[in-house]
Structure 1
């Protein structure tokens, strides 16, 4: 398979999986393993295409993101979604990332650990669906700082590849009495600073693996990821309110079992 086709396939995987509760990192590792696209060059490519998914959320939620720069709601204690909600949502994961970033990259980015993350994340999602209380928060502007912090704590599970940032945060939101739509949108927004920080750090550390000859491949992956992520987010919000997390949890279990039986064993 040529580099451009690999870029196209991996871009689709990233765009579909980044903001769905199925783990983009896990899927990229598994698909990369199947395609024989591994090593430092592959890791650098994965970092670049994540930027495409980040750009998709920036475009879709540009008005909400711009509003975060308005500190008036914070100063006047208005009941309105603001930058403090985002801060509460990223503090726990940011702390874990700073403390354990190198260890996570060194020891957990393997197909075997991804399978564990897929199964553990699926279990969390099924528990959240079964135990979720009746939501009291139906929009971002109704979300409390406490709820934002609790969801941020759940996001820490996503440090384990395969667990899924979306799956962890949406599960935390449901258990914190936040509606599907509001918790999904918060998951998208809180992912942005986390992804920008982690991706920026990874890209800086991988700079020696960047090569001018790889630009066409990186552009194909980036563009594909951006377009697919745009479509995936809009579609996912419609599915989530109708179907919940359960179908995604079962998909993760089936994927983990099939990959283990046919590839790892």
Structure 2
């Protein structure tokens, strides 16, 4: 029962944090540390529950994802969101991930580095919110290739645990003159290829750490992450245009401070 409870807690954490600008990886590392759930099994479990969050976005944006396979707008040079936007948005992060994957997994997945990432990402979010220019892209179809690539460059920051993929890309979107909603939705969509690639690679490497006895725990974590992510994304989009990024940034700084005081010191 303890394993099931841990699976539920971490599934909730993943579902809430994956697409919010607060760093799901950072939260999983910190909460896992508090629960005493660490090591190779924990790393494999985190990979599986990330797949639950991925499935949630796939369902929420299924029509937009299916439309990416239509190359007619590209051939006709129509001003419409298409697969090239996604490629430009994910290419920088894929390159950064492939080059730095080993270093990141070996040296950066620990509470101390996550605390640094939480604070650094928070300052980026505050800066982006305070200096953002007036938007030119009010929907995904308004997004230019240049804006897509610029947001993709910001996604590279998310290779550092605790920095947050959503926080980096939404901040980059605001600085690239995208509206809150456009930046958020593009952040969700370009997260999918990167997450699928990274989780698939990690899962192949961690496959030997799985056993039949782990199935109930992993199933609970996966399903919990999926359901919570569905509600979290919809709610976040409603909140973001009203409250902006700054409250999330302050939460990150407070979390880093409290964790440092009560756990790391």
Interval containing the TM-score (normalised by the shorter chain): over 0.9
Query: Residue in 2 aligned with 1:228?
Result: 228
Q: Where do 1:40-55 residues align within 5 Å?
A: 40-55=40-55
Aligned position for 1:260: 260
- 1:245 partnered with 2:238: no
CA distance in 2 between counterparts of 1:132 and 1:95 reads 27
Partner residue of 1:7? 7
Cα displacement (A) at 1:65 = 0.3
User: What is the correspondence of 1:75-154 to structure 2 with a 5 Å cutoff?
Assistant: 75-154=75-154
3-state secondary structure, aligned to 1:191: helix
CA distance in 1, matches of 2:97, 2:210: 24
* Whole-angstrom CA distance in 2 between matches of 1:144 and 1:204: 36
Instruction: Check if 1:205 corresponds to 2:205.
Output: yes
1:81-123 superposed Cα distances (whole Å, 9 cap, x missing partner):
0000000000100000111101100000000000000000000
Structure 2: distance between partners of 1:259 and 1:244: 24
The alpha-carbon deviation at position 125 of structure 1 amounts to 0.2
Give aligned pairs, total: 265
Listed one character per residue, the Cα deviations across residues 129-160 of structure 1 (whole Å, up to 9, x for unaligned) are 11100111100001000000000000000000
TM-score (norm 2): 0.99
Q: Distance in 1 between matches of 2:36 and 2:77?
A: 53
For structure 1, the residue ranges without an aligned partner over 5 or more in a row are none
Give the corresponding residue for 1:163. 163
Match of 1:185 in 2: 185
Unaligned runs of 5+ in 2: none
Partner Cα separation in structure 2 for residue 85 and residue 31 of structure 1: 35
Are 2:71 and 1:71 equivalent residues in the alignment?
Answer: yes
1 CA distance for matches of 2:245 and 2:23? 13
1:57 paired to 2:57? yes
1:226 and 1:5 map into 2 onto residues whose CA distance is 16
**Alpha-carbon shift at residue 212 of structure 1 (Å):** 0.9
CA distance in 1: counterparts of 2:93 and 2:51, whole angstroms? 19
- Give the deviation of 1:47 after TM superposition: 0.2
1:37 aligns with 2:37: yes
Deviations 1:180-204 (CA, angstroms, capped at 9, x unpaired): 0001000000000000000000000
Partner-residue secondary structure (3-state), 1:161: coil
What TM-score results when the alignment is normalised by the length of structure 1? 0.99
Consecutive aligned runs of 4 or more in structure 1 exceeding 6 Å deviation:
none
Q: How much has 1:54 moved relative to structure 2? A: 0.2
Return the offset for 1:178. Answer: 0.2
In 2, Cα distance between equivalents of 1:83 and 1:126: 30
Distance in 2, Cα, partners of 1:102 & 1:70: 36
RMSD value, Cα:
0.5
